[in-house]
Amino acid sequence: MLRFIFILCAVPVILFSQVDDDWGDIDDVELVEDVVQTNESFSNYWDEHFYGSISGMYSQGARHSRRASELKLGFNDHWRTVKLVVEGAYRQNIVQTEYETFVDDALDDSGEVELGYDSFKFRQAYVEMYPLQNMTFSVGRHLTVWGQLEVFSPVDYLLPIDINPMGFSIVKADNRMPQTTVKLQYYPLSNLELTGYYFPFFEENELMKSFDFTDFYDNFNGQRYYIRKVVPSDKHEASTAFRTTWYASSFTAAVTYFDGFNNLFPVFKEKYIGTATGESHFFQQEYGYYKKRALGIELSVPFGQLSVKGEVSISDDYFNVDVGNSNDKLEIINTYNHGYSSVPIYLTFYGVGIDADFDRWFCNFYLLGLYYFRNPEMNDFWSAYDALIQTPVKFNNAPVFPVLNIGRYFNNEKKGAYGFALGYFTGALGAFIYISNQINESWSWGFSADVAASLSDVALFQSGSSQDGYTEYKFVEPKLTFGLGYKL
């Protein structure tokens, strides 16, 4: 399931209509000056504190087409020791696509269907206060972004994703999900930043909400056991994080500790619940969000307009061991892992690369990889399991994969560019050739050709398949896209 994606160039903000100041023959000059000053003051206030954009895109492939749009409006202002930020966005995504439905691996149906969704949400809505010198306290809806790598960050992916139908983007915030956040920042030194985060509610991203696997079931001793969805609630849904950043003259370093949930994607688990009459062992299927701790480390070393960067995050994960019909293996998971065949392990997600932005060209190049290793807290389990199977379990580590974005600006003002991108970006995976430019200060346009998969496509699937069959949507094909944006 792949889809064409292209980021619309940044769009600007609605021009406030000027008020006619031709008052004719009026003797009271002071009144005229006062009215003119008021009009100028209001217009300046709009330009300084309001921002927004209207953008749209259309893409065409051999077997599908797409229409997507976004309307965004934001406001910010500052009064003495208080700052208010509010930003709302309406997004729409409609895909007309061919499809094929299979039952028992045989073609059952085919045709064309229209899939789509729309959403409105406050991407930012928070109050920021400055109770003490060098201290900032804020509460409300925040877009939180971590990491040193500009395009794709292992540390940033501890945070939940959002769905952005506007496609390929090299701005990480475009695909960050806003969260209710209490944040405290403190600078004990001018180059040392300490930040604490408290996320009081567990908020599932819209992508995963679009799926519902709970209608899948198995029979156990004449009863129907549905897949169970696990979502944190009440006293157990809060997450916390603490981040330290050191801005030295020759480098920037950061350490992040996260204590929350696997809020990027759900985890699928199985728990042994017994033996069905005349059948083999039976497991309760479940999926959802479980406690996740993580440690992230970042380093950025600048060399003029080029920076060499590295990041690594170590976090909780799970590995599903093979149990089959072995009573000995069942005894081990019951004794050491509460009956679950999903065993806690650690995941290391690492990335090294460069971010460069010169006068006429730019480049982002990373090498990323995944490495799994055992959680020492499960040593008793692994000792018993390895002794039984005699050959220690080996994890399938993901090979190193590249991310490349390279291009050239049209001029020194950097208002237009063309380039080539390959790899995984903020919400899209694939290869892109793109060009974008500004018509004037308000209008901008973009064009791209690519083959890509997007998370926003996944959100269209409405659970995608069932026990009786599955549907293939024809997103896997080259596409052309044109986008247009207007600055409000």
Which domain CATH number covers 169? 2.40.160
Tokens of 83: 């700052």
Report the C-alpha gap between 448 and 3 in whole angstroms: 13
Query: Per residue, what are the HEC states of 88-108?
Result: EEEEEEEEEEEEEEEECCEEE
SS3 for 468? coil
Pick from 141, 123, 128: nearest CA to 83 = 128
Q: Report how many helices (DSSP H) and strands (DSSP E) the chain contains, helices first.
A: 5, 25
Domain membership of residue 74 (yes or no) is yes
Q: What is the mean pLDDT of residues 43-59?
A: 90
The partner residues of 262 in beta bridges, in order of sequence, read none
Closest-CA residue to 68 (of 162, 161, 163, 143): 163
DSSP letter, residue 132: S
End-to-end, the C-alpha distance of the chain in Å comes to 35
* Six-digit token string for 55: 């953008």
Sequence length of the chain is 488
Residue 290: phi and psi, rounded to 5, are -125, 165
Residue 23 lies in a domain: no
281-288/469-473 β-pairing: unpaired
Q: Evaluate whether residue 364 is within a structural domain.
A: yes
CB contact set of 43 (below 8 Å; sequence gap of 6+) = 16, 18
CA–CA separation, 69 vs 93, rounded Å? 7
Q: What is the dihedral of CA 333, 338, 341, 343, to 10 degrees?
A: -100
Determine the Cα–Cα distance for residues 81 and 224; give it in Å rounded to an integer: 59
Q: What is the mean pLDDT of the chain?
A: 84
- Of 117, 9, 109, 101, the C-alpha closest to 66 is 117
Q: Which residue has the higher pLDDT, 211 or 182?
A: 182
Distance CA 268, CA 299 (A): 33
Residue 235 structure tokens: 């006293």
Enclosing domain of residue 86: 29-487
Q: What is the token pair recorded at 202?
A: 């567990």
The whole-angstrom distance between residue 175's C-alpha and the CA centroid of its chain comes to 4
Q: Which residue has the higher pLDDT, 226 or 284?
A: 284
Can you tell me which residue has the tokens 């600006």? 409
| CA pair distance 139, 184, nearest whole angstrom | 9
pLDDT at position 335 over 90: yes
Note whether residue 24 is domain-resident.
Answer: no
Tens digit of each residue's pLDDT (9 = 90 or more) over 142-199: 999 999 999 888 999 898 887 777 766 778 888 888 999 999 999 999 999 999 999 9
In a domain, 211, yes or no: yes
Does residue 48 sit in helix, strand or coil?
helix
pLDDT of 33 above 70: no
Region of poorest pLDDT, from 290-294, 298-302, 426-430? 426-430
| pLDDT value at residue 373 | 95
DSSP state letter for 439: S
Q: Residue 458: enclosing H or E segment and its boundaries?
A: helix 455-458
The CA distance from 110 to 98, in Å, is: 7
Within 10 Å of residue 193's Cβ, how many Cβ atoms?
17
Number of other CB atoms surrounding residue 267 within 10 Å: 18
Looking at residue 9, its pLDDT comes to 32
Token couple for 355: 């971010």
**Residue 7 resides in a domain:** no
**Strand 342-357, strand 306-320: pairing:** antiparallel
Tell me what pLDDT residue 25 has: 39
Q: Which residues pair with 77 in a beta bridge?
A: 84
Instruction: Inform me whether the pLDDT recorded for 222 exceeds 60.
Output: no
Report how many domains make up the chain: 1
Distance CA 366, CA 307 (A): 12
Q: Kindly give the interhelix angle for 327-336 and 379-389, rounded to the nearest 10 degrees.
A: 170
Residue 177 contacts residue 160 (beta carbons within 8 Å):
yes
State residue 6's pLDDT score. Answer: 30
Q: Does residue 55 lie within any of the structural domains?
A: yes
Q: Which two tokens stand for residue 190?
A: 């001018």
Share of the chain above pLDDT 90, in %: 56
Helix (H) or strand (E) run with residue 463 in it: none
Looking at the domain assignment, is residue 327 inside a domain?
yes
Residue ranges of alpha helices (H) inside 265-347 are 327-336
| Mean pLDDT value of segment 195-211 | 87
Confidence grade of residue 227 (pLDDT, cut at 50, 70, 90): confident
| pLDDT exceeds 70 at position 4 | no
DSSP string across 200-241 = -S----HHHHT---TT-EEEETTEEEEPEEE---GGG--EEE
pTM for this prediction: 0.84
Question: Using the 8-state DSSP alphabet, how is residue 457 labeled?
Answer: H
pLDDT on residue 190: 93
